Structure 1
Amino acid sequence: MRDKAAFSRIVMNQTLYLRQRFIWDKATQSWELYSNVPRDLCDTYALCGAYGICIISDMPVCQCLKGFKPKSRGYVDWSQGCVRYKSLNYSRQDGFIKFTAMKLPDATLSWVSKSMNLNECREKCLDNSSCMAYTNSDIRGEGSGCAMWFGDLIDIRYFQDGGQDLYIRMSASELGAKGVPRTKIVVTVISTAALLAVVIAAGYLVHKRRRNIVEKTENNRETDQVQNMDLELPLFELATIANATSNFSINNKLGEGGFGPVYKHPKDRPSMPSVILMLGSETVLPQPKQPGYLADRKSTRQDYSSSTPESCSTNTITISELEGR
């Protein structure tokens, strides 16, 4: 093949089962390999059979289109392709599912019109029971023209980058309202239910948190009220206590302190070492002593300004005061 720019040739390599294209390189004065077909396994013609799709990044590379199942039970030989789960009605009750990023099927049984738009193409395909798929014949811009396929669809491939949209005819039982696939409806319902569950869970957590805050606030308020209460103990005069206890009668005694009675004279008080020993051992506290008598003598003599002679007794009198310990 020759043109004004370069020389090229195509070689059918029967040994490698390749179609090779070579370009003449003037600098090296030799033929340089430009391209090979097939470039990978998915370039093999009709590798996955009718309604099978080749995805080079998956394992196995052959799979069935949505709405189809393998015709053969074996997963090694895909030459028999796939068959539908639900048979077509071959009427206007059928619909179409949109597949994206596709290599278009073999065009042996196809029809093309440049004057029709996509909606007109759909209606025309739907009226023909042999029409299995349609798309735009020209993908430039927003797309234009009409291309339709009749009979089984073969040699389909998925591209990760690029490719075209393809609308494949499906049974009404595979579609929801207005031609929406049931799989999309199921996914939508599941997504909505999951979102609703998340919202309910979030609302419950917020409600529970607010309730805990309210309960904590109420508990703090009650604590403050208790702390602010007037807990001052009543005060009684000594005469009132003496009258209530029959002048501290032993019969009205309820108990005594841990360190025993309080004594007037320091010599009768327990020392701190004794107290520490009592607290740290099983030592029995001593019994309190009986009230003693004061030996203090109080003079009753009084000075008078009168000149009257002082008279006094020849006997010495002492007065003792009895005090409780």
Structure 2
Amino acid sequence: MFISSPEEVYYTYMVVDNSTLSRFIVTPEGVIQYLAWLDNQWTNLVTLQRDYCDNYGMCGAYGTCYDSTVGNCRCLKGFRRNNSNPLDWTGGCSRTWNLSCGNGDGFVKYKGLKLPDNSRLLGNRSSNLEECERECLKNCSCMAFTRVDVHGNGGDCLLWFGDLVDMKNYPSGGDVIHIRMAKAEIDAIARAKRRRRIVIAIGISVSTICGMLILAFIGWHALRRRKEGMRAAYSVYRDSGDGGPEEDLELPLLDIASVADATNNFSFQNKVGRGGFGEVYKGVLPTGQDVAVKRLSLNSGQGLKEFKNEVILIAKLQHRNLVKLLGCCIHGDERMLIYEYLPNKSLDHHLFDPIKRKLVTWKTRFSIIMGIARGLLYLHEDSRLRIIHRDLKPSNILLDSEMNPKISDFGIAKTFTVENAGEMTNRIVGTYGYMSPEYAMKGHFSVKSDMFSFGVLLLEIVSGHKNWGFYHPDHDLNLIGHAWKLWTEGNALGLVDVLMEEEFPLKEVLRCIQVGLLCVQQRPEDRPTMSSAVLMLGSETSDVSQPKEPGLSAESFAMSTDSSSSVKIPNFSNDVTITALQSR
């Protein structure tokens, strides 16, 4: 039984089933009440709120319902509304361009929809999308098609004939339907797509050009900073007093921000060493390469001249037994040198530690001796520039992961020519215990000054003791004097490090001691050249002359400053670097 109440605009449906009376009341707002006649009264069993879009055909043909609000309908793209009443969409929408069957009609894809009323739907099983489109295109009454998998056979072709009614929008999800459209509409859509592609292409091109300009600006800015750094470096070179061509600088200049970032802002955890020049930090460049950053102290004895020396000289030197300088940094008063990182630190770190030196076998010691010798030979005779190091000592011998030695610290090194192999200076710089007598007392230096330092190193590597500060209960001699005393007594092997537990070749060790004593002889002309020393050390058949009495074999000595006065040198440890200005 159907009862209508137009005054209250209510629709009531009465159902009688098995003597049970039920009533459905539906309001225009979509509220459904289900009541049953129980115990001689109407009892409300359930009340449901219907979605506005659930009302059939509320948006008319080709209209899509968007949410539960009354009148919230929209026409599909390519269609326009038939009336202007905002609350009445039952008139639906009509095409912007009329169809012309057989004259270029096509299909436009719409997504995210509840499929239209299927009362006039025709299904063809097992058709692919292209076959489905051809089937619809053959019939001028076919307005849309889609393909859905209803029967689990991979897909069914669904065709719609007549106007499309009762569609709803689903922002996330829904189905896809292909709707028949006029050629003019399809051409307009194609033009719009081309315009979008052109706009996108222009946008990408503009973005690319802007990106390139930004990168170019960054590169230009970096280049300008580099040039400023180069000018600062050239200024350092000129202000050091020697002058020289700009092309002498042949290595990268890093900015302070990059160096600070590499060393974790010069953190204590990154500090790996300290000397008279300042501190050394381990760092990691953006490339992943480990480096050692030598940060010169403002109070260091190494000033502009020493910094320039190290930059100019090491940049021109390439040898497996010389430390490699990767770059430098100049920022205000800050001056830093960036070296390759050598994980085993310096020779003194191993040689003078009673625990670590036990692990340094004679084979390793002899390899270190020969590596230092080859490095000095390159400096004295084979490099582009002939170099006198002037500060050869264990702390300036760095060791790589395989304990290969590399000579470092060229801050006070000097270049020379064959014609000018010896010089005199009124500015004595170096380290007590390694300076030759003629240099320490009178300021005379030459390649033979380096040979004296090499001889001291030889004796220290064999014995495991420092020269300066050496102690023996029976005498007051330093290591040089002690070695000479043992040699003259015929007990040279008494110099060998007692902590070196493994067996060693006696002739090779004796040869090293003998060459070491030859290198520390008092008179420079008695000392061998580096090429002769390398030959004597590396060949068992070469003749080795008998050494004469060494220089500076006592723990202290008088350093002459002029003809009428002298300065008594106190007892320093071997790692103290000094700078003594001599009066004329």
TM-score (ref. length: structure 2): 0.32
Greater alpha carbon shift after TM alignment, 63-72 vs 112-121: 112-121
Assess if the C-alpha contact under 8 Å between 2:52 and 2:70 holds in 1. Answer: no
Partner of 1:292: none
Q: Which letter does structure 2 place at the counterpart of 1:55? A: Y
Matched-pair contact (CA < 8 Å) for 1:174–1:182: no
1:163 & 1:10 partners in 2: Cα distance?
Answer: 36
d(CA) in 1 for partners of 2:69, 2:223: 56
What is the Cα deviation at residue 154 of structure 1? 1.2
Q: Which residue in the other structure is 1:158 paired with?
A: 169
- Indicate the SS of the match to 1:174: helix
Structure 2: gaps (5+ residues): 1-14, 16-20, 37-42, 242-584
Counterpart Cα distance in 2 of 1:41 and 1:175: 32
Q: Distance in 1 between matches of 2:159 and 2:152?
A: 20
Q: Which residue of 1 aligns with 2:180?
A: 169
**Are 1:209 and 2:206 an aligned pair?**
no
Q: Contact 2:34 / 2:44 at 8 angstroms: preserved in 1?
A: no
Q: How does 1:127-276 map to 2 (within 5 A)?
A: 127-136=138-147, 138-139=149-150, 143-175=154-186, 182-229=191-238
Q: Distance in 2 between matches of 1:217 and 1:59?
A: 69
Name the residue aligned to 2:64. 53
2:53 to 15, 30, 42: 42
* Greater helix proportion: 2
Q: Evaluate the alpha carbon distance shift between residue 196 and residue 22 of structure 1 in structure 2; reply closer, same or farther with a 3 A threshold.
A: farther
Partner-residue secondary structure (3-state), 1:175: helix
Q: Distance in 1 between matches of 2:140 and 2:75?
A: 22
| Cα displacement string for residues 120-163 of structure 1 (whole angstroms, at most 9, x for unaligned residues) | 22101111122111112544668522221122111111124543
Once the two structures are superposed, residues 30-58 of structure 1 have per-residue CA deviations (whole angstroms, 9 ceiling, x without a partner) of 9954x95x821111111111111001178
Question: In the alignment, which residue of structure 2 is the partner of 1:118?
Answer: 129
Structure 1 residue 165: Cα displacement = 1.6
> Does the C-alpha gap of structure 1 residues 141 and 19 become closer, same or farther in structure 2, counting only changes over 3 Å?
farther
Aligned match of 1:98: 109
Deviations along 1:265-308, whole A, 9 cap, x unmatched? xxxxxxxxxxxxxxxxxxxxxxxxxxxxxxxxxxxxxxxxxxxx
SS in 2 for 1:83: strand
Match of 1:200, as an amino acid? I
The residue number in structure 2 matching 1:322 is none
Work out the CA distance in 2 between the residues paired with 1:32 and 1:206: 72
Residue 103 (structure 1) shift:
1.4
Whether the 8 Å contact between 2:122 and 2:159 is mirrored in structure 1 is yes
Whole-Å separation in 2 of the counterparts to 1:194 and 1:205:
16
Mapped partners of 1:79, 1:156: distance in 2: 13
Coordinate RMSD, CA, aligned: 3.7
Aligned letter for 1:214? L
Report if aligned partners of 1:136, 1:143 keep a CA contact under 8 Å in 2: no
8 Å CA contact retained: 1:118, 1:145: no
Matching residue's letter, 1:114: R
CA contact (8 A) 1:95 1:170 kept: yes
Work out the CA distance in 2 between the residues paired with 1:39 and 1:187.
Answer: 41
Residues 62 and 165, structure 2, Cα contact 8 Å, conserved in 1: yes
Separation in structure 2 between the aligned mates of residue 20 and residue 91 of structure 1, nearest angstrom: 52
TM-superposed deviation, 1:205: 0.2
Deviation at 1:166, TM superposition (A): 1.1
Letter in 1 for 2:108: I
2 CA distance for matches of 1:94 and 1:78?
Answer: 27
Q: Report the alpha carbon displacement of residue 230 of structure 1 after superposing the two structures with TM.
A: 6.1
Q: What's 1:291 paired with?
A: none
Are the structure 2 counterparts of residues 229 and 208 from structure 1 closer, same or farther at C-alpha, using a change threshold of 3 Å?
A: same
* Identical residues among aligned pairs (%): 32
Counterparts in 2 of 1:186 and 1:113: CA distance versus 1, 3 Å: same
Could you tell me how far apart the structure 2 residues matched to 1:95 and 1:167 are? 9
2:459 corresponding residue in structure 1: none
Distance in 2, Cα, partners of 1:209 & 1:123? 58
2:222 is matched by which residue type in structure 1? I
How far apart are the structure 2 equivalents of 1:11 and 1:39?
A: 17
2:209 partner letter? I
Task: State the SS of the aligned residue for 1:108.
Answer: coil
1:13 and 2:30 matched: no
TM-score by length of 1: 0.55
- Higher relative contact order (CA closer than 8 Å, sequence separation 6+): 1
Q: Which letter does structure 2 place at the counterpart of 1:134?
A: F
> Residues 192, 21 of structure 1: CA spacing in aligned structure 2 closer, same or farther, 3 A cutoff?
farther
User: 1: CA distance between counterparts of 2:147 and 2:35?
Assistant: 33
Secondary structure at 2:177 match in 1 = strand
Separation in 2, partners of 1:10, 1:103: 32
Written as runs of structure 1 = structure 2, the 5 A alignment for 1:292-311 is none
Give the greater-gyration-radius structure (CA).
Answer: 1
In the aligned structure 2, how far is the partner of 1:156 from the partner of 1:174? 21
Structure 1 position 206, deviation (Å): 0.4
Write the distance in 2 (CA, Å) between the matches of 1:174 and 1:143.
32
Give a deviation string over 1:81-109, Cα, whole Å, max 9, x none: 12222222322622212222321212233
Letter in 2 for 1:197: V
Please tell me whether the aligned partners of residues 11 and 19 of structure 1 are also in contact (alpha carbons under 8 angstroms). Answer: no
Q: What secondary structure is seen at the aligned counterpart in 1 of 2:116? A: coil
3-state SS of 1:136 partner: strand
SS of the residue aligned with 1:153?
Answer: coil
| Larger mean Cα displacement after TM superposition, 209-218 or 137-146 | 137-146
Name the SS for the 1:195 alignment partner. Answer: helix
Q: 1:231 to 1:95 in 2, by over 3 A?
A: same
